[in-house]
Structure 1
Amino acid sequence: MRSVRAQATLGATLVVAVALAAAGIALLLVLRANLIGQADLQAEVAAREVAGQLALDTPYDALDLDDEEDHPVQVTDEEGRVVAVSPGLTAITGAGAPGVTPVPSASAGATAPPGDDDDGDGDGQDDGGRPGRGEVAGDDPEISEGSATVDGRKADYRFAAVEATTSTGVTLTVYAGAPLTDERETVNTVRGAMLAGLLPMLAVVAGVTWLVTRRALRPVEGIRSEMAAITASEDLARRVPEPASRDEIARLARTTNETLTVLEASVERQRRFVADASHELRSPIASLRTQLEVAAAHPELLDVPGAVADTVRLQVLAADLLLLARLDAGEKPQSTVLELGALVREEVSQRTGDRIAVAVRAPEDAAFEVSGSRGQLARVIGNLLDNAERHAESLVAVSIAAEAGGVCVEVRDDGAGVPEDERERIFERFVRLDDARSRDDGGAGLGLAIARDVASRHGGTLTVHRATEGGAAFRLWLPRSG
């Protein structure tokens, strides 16, 4: 079953079925317990009525048992002999004794032997002249379950045993029963009604769940079909429909559209990157090919310095493109602790051919330790210095200082600066603000993009501001190691 709708319907139906079954069983158990409790109470009442008669020394054969047709009664003496039974009782189990025939001596006499009374004077009265009186046990009766046959009809009963003591001290036990027929009929009726209503109720639950699930999943189908169309057409400008609700499906649609937006921008950036890279590579390759073709026809006209310059430019551009590809692939920088001040001084010392000497201001006794790739951070410093050399009039300065839990390297120049509305655009790839500048002088427009990407990979930032000298001030911030 692969359909989410079918799975939800089946799951909801099973849960409701289990819940209804558990509730039904609990209801039947409670109902049965209540009905049995009522039967026990009826049996106890019947037993106490007979016990009350015995306590008044009513003879066995004079007991009023005619109203006990629904409550069979058996009376036994201390020796377990049957002394009285209700009319029509022909068989009994679960009571005091299996017999239903009173013993001859008991059935013919009274509860007290002749001439035996409370005061011993043989008049059957107590000293006050009143008839003798026994007592009925007040304890909770013992309850048992059995069967009895009354007037040829056998049924199950709950029996209550109540003891009665006559005025002569004879202890008798009265067993009175209450039928379980009503209890079983009621339980069976309720059980049948519950079973009859279970299937229609489950059908209603399944139908409602199916309809509600279909309604809830309808936007999902719209999202799926639109995503399939986007995949088939490869048109990342399309978007999936967003439902007006504020539920999880609406959030899924919004997240999907946000993902498509990011993906579209990424693909567009890659396309532009490939186009710009191809354009940047075309010029030095074409120039180098022209020089080689001229040299092949006229060796004396070979421009060796120009060929070397074009080759170097191709090498630098290829290295930049390779580094950008590695950064885009998510390559993590090496975690090496290095002293950033020493790295800056080392990078500046190697720039002997710059048209403007670089002024370095870094405390000799301070340690500016950061963690990262020495080669990549050296590339960042070099790119910032190259950019400053390209735009400076007469000043290129580098300063290092501790700032906000990290280390800040600032590269300044006294050139024209960067317009405020262009301060983010210059970090895009293949962007050169001065389009009139030659490619040989201006580079490919990858240096600042590489510098910001490397800074970001190291947990830092690279921003540009206006320098005090009037030009641009690039600030590289990196977190301290440890």
Structure 2
Amino acid sequence: MSRLGRLSLRARLTLAATVMVAVGLAIGGVLLVVALDRALLDALDEAARRQGEDIAALVESDRLPDPLPSYGAAVVQVVDEQGRVLASTPGGDRLTSIVDDADLAAIRDGDAVRLDGARLGQPEPLRVVGVETDPPGDPHIVLVAVSLEEQRRSVQFAKIGVTAGGVVVTAALAVLSWLVVVRALRPVDRLRAGADEITGTGATRRLPVPAGDDELSRLAVTLNDMLSRLDNAAERQRAFVADAAHELRSPIAALRTELEVALAHPDAVDPHDTAREALQEVARMGRLVDDLLVLAHLDNPRPQRREEDVDLHEIVAAIAEGVRDTRVPVTVSAGGAAVTHGHRDSLTRVVRNLIDNAVRHAASRVAVEVRRDGASVRVAVDDDGAGVPPADRERIFERFTRLDDARDRDAGGSGLGLAIVREIVRAHGGTIVVEDAAPGARFVVSLPAAAAPERAAVRPADRTG
């Protein structure tokens, strides 16, 4: 098996096909030779019995000649019930039966027996059959012995022909199988060569698709689709790394400037102001790094999360109470418990990012609605700001996207908050859309409701933070 495993796929397929054909031809050849042997023996027995019937007719008509008429190379004897020879052909024994008592009993039962040719001075074995006759007063049996030389010669020729033909057919089929396998695997070689040319350096390459609609062509199409997805993922990763580096460059540059100014002009700079501004830049970098880590965790195809039943109304109420921007009140309305199943910290981040985004863009108010809607729970966050143009309602969920390019970066955020929201919502099997709030924008999150029964605790209808 180890040697077989070192063979190429072409060789293994060809060997398997050749072995199967050789076994089939061998079985067929054996059956053919056996059938031919049986048919020749039956024909020989039938001819001998017809000769015996002719002699039996002479015995029954009491016209038995002596010697008996000759039928070619056949030897015929007429034997009585006591085993005495009554008549024989010229080549037979006129004194002793050509078969012994045991064989004679078998012949009387209708069987044919094999006889050594030396018994009658012949080089080839004989086959003896019998025909019983019943002349008046004394039953006799006619023994007919025929040579097996022609039958054996025919079977031998058949064996030689079957063996030679099997070898030729097997060899021809082995060659044909090799050619077919080589042709069938040629697209695989092209696929392998195409895969060798794909270096992953950024150039978009695809595998050649074989002609037709067979398994190999479908495999090539599937692999090309996979390569497209990998290219897209790599492109997103490169863009993500470039954007992250760009975003980190700004606070690092600002922090470096503050420190260089403080070192160059220590008498003209207040150390407390420098430390406060440096701390703001460090905090900004910390928030950005935290968001990047969250996105990296969400990009994991199998994130390890401890999930539980979460009441979104509790999360919304707690976050609304913690809003520090006193110019924009946050109003929360709920119609009872809105329970979903998921990761509490991730869902908390969804609500916090949506409320922070609404507060940042609102003119005077932010309204949050939490309720259960059939088999889902719904969180809607409204603000009365400038709103989101329809053409940008999908783009704002892309990473590092800001619609207001003129605003200050500290006020506008890093452009990762809504991207994190969408990734978390999708990971929980939900959806998020942007609608008009007339004026302003409404962000609507829908999540599957938890299978557990709703808690019946009564919630306040409105709360202001």
Aligned ranges 1:306-345 → 2 under 5 Å: 306-330=277-301, 331-345=303-317
Following TM superposition, by how much is the alpha carbon of 1:402 offset from its aligned partner in structure 2, in angstroms?
A: 2.7
2:182 is the alignment partner of 1:182: no
Match of 1:414 among 357, 378, 384: 384
Aligned ranges 1:89-168 → 2 under 5 Å: 89=92, 95-97=99-101, 141-148=110-117, 152-168=121-137
Aligned ranges 1:272-351 → 2 under 5 Å: 272-296=239-263, 297-298=265-266, 300=270, 302-303=272-273, 304-330=275-301, 331-351=303-323
Structure-2-length-normalised TM-score: 0.86
* Counterpart contact for 1:372–1:458, Cα < 8 Å: yes
1:456 alignment partner in structure 2: 426
CA displacement 1:61-91 (0-9 Å, x = unmatched): 5364312x33322333222333333321359
Following TM superposition, by how much is the alpha carbon of 1:467 offset from its aligned partner in structure 2, in angstroms?
A: 2.7
CA distance in 1, matches of 2:431, 2:146: 91
CA distance in 2, matches of 1:18, 1:143: 34
* Counterpart contact for 1:431–1:446, Cα < 8 Å: yes
CA displacement 1:25-73 (0-9 Å, x = unmatched): 22222222222221222222222222222222334x5364312x33322
* Counterpart contact for 1:425–1:431, Cα < 8 Å: yes
1:436 alignment partner in structure 2: 406
* Counterpart contact for 1:89–1:148, Cα < 8 Å: no
Structure-1-length-normalised TM-score: 0.83
CA distance in 2, matches of 1:98, 1:390: 118
1:477 alignment partner in structure 2: 446
CA distance in 2, matches of 1:289, 1:99: 120
Match of 1:269 among 228, 232, 236: 236
2:62 is the alignment partner of 1:62: no
* Counterpart contact for 1:461–1:478, Cα < 8 Å: yes
Letter in 2 for 1:339: D
CA displacement 1:304-363 (0-9 Å, x = unmatched): 443332222111111111111112223133221222222222222222435422222212
CA distance in 2, matches of 1:52, 1:261: 94
CA distance in 2, matches of 1:321, 1:389: 22
Letter in 2 for 1:418: V
Match of 1:195 among 157, 163, 166: 163
CA distance in 2, matches of 1:176, 1:468: 116
* Counterpart contact for 2:307–2:344, Cα < 8 Å: no
How many correspondences in the alignment? 437
CA distance in 2, matches of 1:220, 1:454: 41
CA distance in 2, matches of 1:160, 1:475: 102
2:45 is the alignment partner of 1:74: no
Following TM superposition, by how much is the alpha carbon of 1:280 offset from its aligned partner in structure 2, in angstroms?
A: 0.7
Compare 292-301 and 375-384 and name the one that shifted more: 292-301
Compare 373-382 and 454-463 and name the one that shifted more: 454-463
CA displacement 1:131-170 (0-9 Å, x = unmatched): xxxxxxxx983222333458742322332222211112x1
Letter in 2 for 1:241: P
2:328 alignment partner in structure 1: 356
Structure 1 stretches of 4+ moved >4 Å: 90-94, 96-100
CA distance in 2, matches of 1:99, 1:432: 111
Match of 2:44 among 29, 39, 42: 39
* Counterpart contact for 1:88–1:150, Cα < 8 Å: no
Q: Gaps spanning 5+ residues in structure 2: where?
A: 1-5, 452-465
Following TM superposition, by how much is the alpha carbon of 1:436 offset from its aligned partner in structure 2, in angstroms?
A: 2.2
1:229 alignment partner in structure 2: 197
Q: Which of the pair has more CA radius of gyration?
A: 1
CA displacement 1:92-149 (0-9 Å, x = unmatched): 998455999xxxxxxxxxxxxxxxxxxxxxxxxxxxxxxxxxxxxxx98322233345
State percent identity of aligned pairs.
Answer: 40
Q: Measured at CA, do residues 349 and 183 of structure 1 come closer, stay the same or move farther in structure 2, by a change above 3 Å?
A: farther
* Counterpart contact for 1:93–1:147, Cα < 8 Å: no
Q: State the superposition RMSD in angstroms.
A: 2.7
Q: Gaps spanning 5+ residues in structure 1: where?
A: 101-138
CA distance in 2, matches of 1:99, 1:241: 77
Q: Say which SS state the counterpart of residue 382 (structure 2) adopts.
A: strand
CA distance in 2, matches of 1:264, 1:277: 20
Q: Say which SS state the counterpart of residue 369 (structure 2) adopts.
A: strand
Following TM superposition, by how much is the alpha carbon of 1:240 offset from its aligned partner in structure 2, in angstroms?
A: 1.7
